[in-house]
Amino acid sequence: MTSSVPTLSRIRVGSAPDSWGVWFPDDPQQVPWHRFLDEVAAAGYEWIELGPYGYLPSDPGRLGEETARRGLKVSAGTVFTGLHHGPAVWEKTWDHVADIAALTRAMGAEHLVVIPSFWRDDKSGEVLEDRTLTAGQWRDLTAQTERLGREVRDRYGLSVVVHPHADTHIDSEENVSRFLDATDPELVSLCLDTGHYAYCGGDSVKLIETYGERIGYLHLKQVDPEILAGVVANGVPFGPAVGRGVMCEPPSGVPALEPVLAAAQRLGVDLFAIVEQDMYPCPPDKPLPIATRTRRFLRGCGA
C-alpha cells in the first residue's frame, strides 16, 4: 500500500537571504552575498528574494548575470514603511521604495513585500511609539498603503503584498482583519508569513480560508511554541526572541505547513511560498544544511 502526496502545482517554492541570517545590507556577522547565492542554489531552490536592499548587487545587469549562472530567479523585493504616520512621510517612503521597485521589476519579479515599521526597536527593545494605533493612524495607514499600491502598480507593474510582522501594528488576527477590511483588494494584497502570524496568535489556515482572495504571497516559517511562550510571558522584543531561536526549522514547530500549503493550493491561483527562517545572527555554516533539509521536507509535502 502506498500513500500519495498531493502535488502542489500552484505553489512555487523559494528561499531568501533571511534564511541565511541576513537582516542588513552590510553586516560583518552575515555571510557574503555570493556565498548566499551559491548555497541557496546548492540547497535546491530556484527562486529568491532580494533581501535588504544593497545586500545583493543593486545593478540589475550584474545581479542578472550572478543569478542566471546559478539558475536562480527573483520573486520579490522588500521595503520597510511607516505609513501610519500619514502623508508627511510619503516622499521619504517613496525615495526608499522607488530604487527597490525598479530593481525588482528589472529582475522580472512581480511582487513588492511591504513590512510595516516596528513600534519597538528590534535590537534594543526600546519602545518607539504606542503599540496601538489611533483611529486617525489607522486611516492614514490604509489610505497611504493604497496609495503605495497604486503608485507601485502604475509605475513599476508590481503588486504590493503587505507582510504582517511581530512588533508592528499589523500583527494579530484582529489587526490583520481590520487592515484587510479597510483596504482595496485591487491595490493591496497580503504576504502571509506563517511564522509571524503564529507568533502573534493567528491561524494561517483560517486566514487563507477567510480572506483567500487577499492572499498574494506566502512566507513559510515556523515558531517553537515553548520558546514563544517565554517570549510572550516576558515581553521579549522580536530581535532577541530570534536570538533565542523562536523561529525554528520545519517541521519541528507551528503551524504545521502541510495544511497551510493545502489551503493555499485550494485557492486555485499561482502563489510563491518563500522559506524564511529568521536566525540573525547565526554561524556562517549553519544555514545551508537547514535549507537543504527544509527543501527536502517541502518536496515531501508535494511542493
Angle between helix 33-42 and helix 287-300 axes, rounded to 10 deg: 30
Cβ–Cβ under 8 Å, residues 112 and 100: yes
Cβ–Cβ under 8 Å, residues 23 and 274: no
Distance CA 205, CA 199 (A): 14
pLDDT digits (tens, 9 = 90+) for 28-55: 999 999 999 999 999 999 999 999 999 9
Instruction: Please state whether beta strands 271-275 and 222-223 pair in parallel, antiparallel, or not at all (unpaired).
Output: unpaired
Residue 2: pLDDT band (50, 70, 90) is very low
Q: What is the mean pLDDT of the chain?
A: 96
Angle at 103 between CA 102 and CA 107, to 5 degrees: 120
C-alpha cell at 291: 535549507
What amino acid is encoded at 297 in this protein? F
On the question of pLDDT at 4 being above 80, the answer is no
Cβ–Cβ under 8 Å, residues 109 and 60: no
Kindly report the pTM of this predicted structure: 0.96
On the question of pLDDT at 3 being above 70, the answer is no
Residue 1: pLDDT band (50, 70, 90) is very low
Residue 6: pLDDT band (50, 70, 90) is confident
pLDDT at 218: 98
Other Cβ atoms within 10 Å of 146 Cβ, number: 18
pLDDT digits (tens, 9 = 90+) for 118-151: 999 887 888 999 999 999 999 999 999 999 999 9
Domains of the chain: 11-301 (3.20.20.150)
Alpha helices in the chain (DSSP H): 33-42, 60-68, 90-106, 135-156, 173-181, 194-199, 204-210, 225-233, 238-243, 257-266, 287-300
Cβ–Cβ under 8 Å, residues 234 and 182: no
On the question of pLDDT at 229 being above 80, the answer is yes
pLDDT digits (tens, 9 = 90+) for 71-101: 999 999 999 999 999 999 999 999 999 999 9
pLDDT at 37: 98
pLDDT digits (tens, 9 = 90+) for 173-211: 999 999 999 999 999 999 999 999 999 999 999 999 999
Average pLDDT over residues 221-231: 98
**Mapped to the 3 state alphabet, what secondary structure does 101-146 carry?**
HHHHHHCCCCEEEEEECECECCCCCCECCCCCCCHHHHHHHHHHHH
